Amino acid sequence: MTSLLIIAVLVLLGIAIWQLTKIFDLTQLGTVSQTENSEVANDRDNNVNGYLMFAFVGFIYVFTIYSLVEWGHLVLGTPASEHGPQYDNLMAISLILIFVVQTITQFLLHYFSFKYRGKQGRVAYYFADNDKLEFVWTIIPVIVLAGLILYGLYAWTNIMFIDEDKEDALYVEVYAKQFSWEVRYAGEDGMLGKANVRYIEGINTMGVDMSDPNSQDDIPARELHLPKGKKVIFKIRSQDVLHSAYFPHFRAQMNAVPGMVTQFGFTPTLTTEEMRQDPGIVEKVANINNIRSKKSAELVANGESPLDPYEFDYLLLCNKICGASHYNMQMKVVVDEEADFNKWLSEQETLGKAVKKEKQQMADSVEATAPIEETTDSETATDSTMVETDSTMVVQ
């Protein structure tokens, strides 16, 4: 019924416009000569559209200013990583450049469209080429872009090329799967154990190779805690499809690719608490809570439960299409002072202990029900043979 109504409205709209053009045509009959009625633009059309062109550049400017005022504050604010300010600086330079070029070229384009709108009797200026002009506007982009490329490459090298021997870094594995994240800390030895999805079993959800001595002290977690002021090197894996580990507040992103280990490193510079005090964030959170309380009032009126108030937290989002629930694949990120972080980490159970505990429980239950034992045995047996050939492939 609704769609019928919509179609009816659209048809009526079409008829209205058609009739309007007829009226236009009729009003013109007496005033203009026959040649003017040929669907080719005449002086009147050139005038009207010329002025509209001029108005349009006004529209572009006003809309740009409106957007900046109204939505400028939505843009990500204070960066929370060491390379963040450099990133933001390069972004600012690029944006300023873009705005300047945009303002000038759009003005010229639309102003010329207005100024030189056709008039019967006017003759256009035959101007086919001019080497000097063309040279100028080839060389200017060359110089400007050369500068941008150099700055960009300098920043890129700083961010992406990590010298693992020199850095005293924290190694964290970020593990992606439809539709959640897991993390694994390297533990006391500072080395992540080898892993492959073929080792996935029970509590060992990331497929860590428990025969690797580096694996025992690895610490799995469901929340990503990071120490402030220490370089963190993420080793990123995926167990099923492509995902992308996106940390917008840290200006960091890297895809998670099944079958290979990718990496990204950054140094957090602001703890979660400090970021919550950031004026931009305070304002943003207040605004969001305002929106949420309004929505909650509506929900309560409809007999539904209200929304929780929002408190700022860093986030890890999935930013590569990965399936139906891609839109809700997230993990909380907490940045602490290093001491607090170390305390938190020491409270987590190591993987070695967890696996041992699980095996113990399994053994207990196996004693009670004998037949299960066989199946588990044979499964592990086949698994381990496969594993033999694979473990070399995924060296971290």
Partner 1 sequence: MSVAGHEIHGENDHVDAHAHHHKDTFITKYIFSIDHKMIAKQYLITGIIMGIIGIMMSILFRMQLAWPEESFGIFKALLGEEYAPNGVMRNDIYLALVTIHGTIMVFFVLTAGLSGTFSNLLIPLQIGARDMASGFMNMLSYWMFFISSVIMVISLFVEAGPASAGWTIYPPLSALPQAIGGSGAGMTLWLVSMAIFIASSLMGSLNYVVTVINLRTKGMSMTRLPLTIWAFFITAVIGIVSFPVLLSAALLLIFDRSFGTSFFLSDIFIAGDVLHYQGGSPVLFEHLFWFLGHPEVYIVLLPALGITSEIIATNARKPIFGYRAMIASILAIAFLSTIVWGHHMFVSGMNPFLGSVFTFTTLLIAIPSAVKAFNYITTLWRGNLQLNPAMLFSIGLVSTFITGGLTGIILGDSTLDINVHDTYFVVAHFHLVMGISALYGMFAGIYHWFPRMFGRMMNKTLGYVHFWVTAVCAYGVFFPMHFIGMAGLPRRYYTNTAFPLFDDLQDVNVLITMFAIIGAIFQLVFLWNFFYSIFRGKKAPMNPWKSNTLEWTAPVEHMHGNWPGAIPEVYRWPYDYSKPGHEDDFVPQNIPMKEGEEQLHH
- Interaction with partner 1 in 257-276: which residues (CB under 8 A)? 257-260, 262
Task: Using the Cα atoms of residue 79, residue 83, residue 88 and residue 89 in order, give the sign of their dihedral.
Answer: positive
- Interaction with partner 1 in 182-241: which residues (CB under 8 A)? 196-198, 200, 207, 236, 239-241
Beta bridge partners of 235: 173, 263
Q: Is 314 helix (H, G, I), strand (E, B) or coil?
A: strand
- Interaction with partner 1 in 359-388: which residues (CB under 8 A)? none
CB of 189 to partner 1, least distance (A): 24
Q: Which lies closer to partner 1 via its Cβ, residue 76 or residue 366? A: 76
Q: Which lies closer to partner 1 via its Cβ, residue 155 or residue 345? A: 155
* From candidates 32, 75, 300, 339, binder to partner 1 by CB under 8 A: 75
Binding mask 108-147 for partner 1 (x = CB under 8 A): xxx-xx--xxxx--xxxxxxxxx--xx--xx--xx--x--
Q: Binding of partner 1 at residue 248 (CB under 8 A)? A: yes
Binding mask 309-328 for partner 1 (x = CB under 8 A): -x-x--x-xxxxxxxxxxxx
* From candidates 78, 284, 348, 373, binder to partner 1 by CB under 8 A: 284
Peptide bond between residue 179 and the one before it cis (omega within 30 degrees of 0): yes
* From candidates 36, 61, 155, 348, binder to partner 1 by CB under 8 A: 155
* From candidates 26, 31, 71, 347, binder to partner 1 by CB under 8 A: 71
Q: What are phi and psi of 83, to 5 degrees?
A: -85, -5
Whole-number Cα distances in Å, 196 to 29, 253, 343: 80, 23, 29
Query: β-strand 219-221 against 180-185: which pairing, if any?
Result: antiparallel
Mark the segment that binds partner 1 (CB under 8 A) among 52-60, 225-233, 339-347, 359-367.
52-60
Query: What is the rounded end-to-end Cα distance, in angstroms, of the chain?
Result: 60
Mark the segment that binds partner 1 (CB under 8 A) among 107-115, 163-171, 338-346, 353-361.
107-115
Residue type, 46: N
- Best CA proximity match to 145, nearest among 137, 134, 157: 137
Q: Which two tokens stand for residue 339?
A: 């001491």
CB of 157 to partner 1, least distance (A): 7
Q: Binding of partner 1 at residue 299 (CB under 8 A)? A: no
Q: Binding of partner 1 at residue 17 (CB under 8 A)? A: yes
Q: What are phi and psi of 360, to 5 degrees?
A: -60, -50
Q: What angle do CA 300, 305, 306 make, to 5 degrees?
A: 70
- Best CA proximity match to 28, nearest among 15, 14, 16, 43: 43
* From candidates 26, 29, 40, 301, binder to partner 1 by CB under 8 A: 40
Is 310:240 a contact under the CB 8 Å cutoff? no
Q: Which lies closer to partner 1 via its Cβ, residue 53 or residue 186? A: 53
Q: Total residues at the site for partner 1 (CB under 8 A)?
A: 133
